[in-house]
Amino acid sequence: MAGYPDKAVEICQRGLKGDKKYPVFYYTMACICAQKGDGGPALEYIRQAYKYKDKMLPGESLANPLKHESFKELLKSEEFRQELERIVQ
């Protein structure tokens, strides 16, 4: 879905209608929001992803958003970084 944010949003929204507890959809939405500079929604999607991380399929894992390229610009904000650290701990 990289390079196609509109398509990624569509797929994630459809997926969440079918399974509201699948964390990868939330994580992907967080990445898209972060790339757009939308910190508030990005944090909310990350909260949901981590809330449901035990629902991942075998062999799946969530990338650390503190090291993920999508969040690079938002992480320049100390407030954003601190909130993200609280979420992922």
CATH of residue 19's domain is 1.25.40
Q: Where are the alpha helices (DSSP H) in 1-89?
A: 5-18, 23-35, 39-51, 78-88
**What's the mean per-residue pLDDT of the chain?**
92
Go through the chain and tell me how many residues it has: 89
CA–chain centroid gap for 85, Å, is 13
pLDDT surpasses 90 at 4: no
Q: What is the mean pLDDT of residues 66-72?
A: 95
**Residue 76's domain spans which residues?**
5-88
What would you measure as the largest C-alpha separation in the chain, in angstroms? 36
pLDDT tens figures, 40-64: 999 999 999 999 999 999 999 999 9
3-state secondary structure of 69: helix
**CA 66 – CA 46 distance, rounded (Å):** 11
Per the structure, how many domains does the chain have?
1
pTM assigned to the model = 0.91
pLDDT tens figures, 20-40: 999 999 999 999 999 999 999
